[in-house]
Amino acid sequence: MIEIDDSAAGQRIDNFLLRVCKGVPKSHIYRILRSGEVRVNKGRVDAQYRLAYGDLVRVPPIRVAKSDAPASAPAPSANFDILFEDDHMLVIDKPAGVAVHGGSGVAFGVIEQLRAARPQAKFLELVHRLDRETSGVLMLAKKRAALVNLHEQIREDRMDKRYYACVHGEWASDWGRRRAVKEPLHKYLLPDGERRVRVQPDGLPSHTIFNLVDRWPDYALLEAELKTGRTHQIRVHLAHLGLPIVGDAKYGDFALNKALARANANPGLKRMFLHAYRLKLTHPATGETLQFQAPLPAECKRFVEQLAGTTGAEAQHEQPQTETKTHGSTAI
């Protein structure tokens, strides 16, 4: 018998059972639901039933076949720079080179490492994702109700996500300082199983707005504003414009990336220059408007300084003025 707490309230019973009964085939989970072996408050429910706080769930005895596969090593615990935390949310500054979750050849990611570092946490889930080589603001929910609310904000385009991207190429003079891209995106797999995305007429609707922050010969610093959240959206839209992101190993200029990564290169950069620097949203419990900002990583800041020829002096760019409560700081 399991009493439902905040960590499971609002979750569908089938998804709850899949989490509780790890290793049990999905077909078996649905069979015990249909047969009435699973009871909620002593009554039968269907797979779509959403659990409420205080519900009492009966999970019948289930035999699980022993696996001959070797057990995978547990994820090592890790801590990340925290931009904000309360009882509902955790917002961190994710470094480049760290996946947000395990899979596709990655044994573990941020979510597995944080769960290992916080074994007492009853609930911890990613609200959104960042590519492995993208750094910056990453948000996690500490309660299911918060996760549901934040996902609703994303679906209704009430969450403002901004990135900095440094690109190679010429920003067209007739674009002004703002360029909207609405090219549809299609996801596909390479023969080796690696995921890729391309612009394709029958792809998913996608919308990114690019704002020119600064420019130099052959390079430009842009702010990207996401209106949809497709896989690799910013990277593919910029490559489509002929402005690949510096250091992008999937859609960028590979010869340029190799030259920039050489020792003592000036300008030099050994990572992809894409950074989620700002996230603005409504607190899922209080309704307060919050804004989180992550400072530009040192290697990206140094690259901008090299382009500007400032050799260590800070390049100053105007930051948006808001009346929201801001956590973290942004510097270029």
State the catalytic residues: 131
Q: How many CB atoms lie within 10 A of CB 211?
A: 14
Please give the span between the terminal C-alpha atoms of the chain, in angstroms, as a whole number. Answer: 54
C-alpha distances out from residue 77 to 73, 111, 129, 302, Å: 12, 10, 19, 30
Contact at 8 Å (CB) between 146 and 284?
A: yes
Question: Which residue's structure tokens are 């009554």?
Answer: 43
Judged by DSSP in three states, 229 sits in: coil
Contact at 8 Å (CB) between 232 and 250?
A: yes
Tokens of 284: 């899922």
Q: Characterise 287 by phi-psi region: left (phi > 0), alpha (psi -120 to 50), beta (else).
A: left
Judged by DSSP in three states, 77 sits in: coil
Judged by DSSP in three states, 249 sits in: coil
Half-sphere exposure of 164 (CA within 13 A, CB side): 25
Host H or E run for residue 174: none
Question: Residue 7, Cα to own-chain centre: how many angstroms?
Answer: 21
C-alpha distances out from residue 261 to 28, 229, 242, 256, Å: 52, 29, 21, 9
Closest CA relative to residue 184, chosen from 201, 162, 197: 201
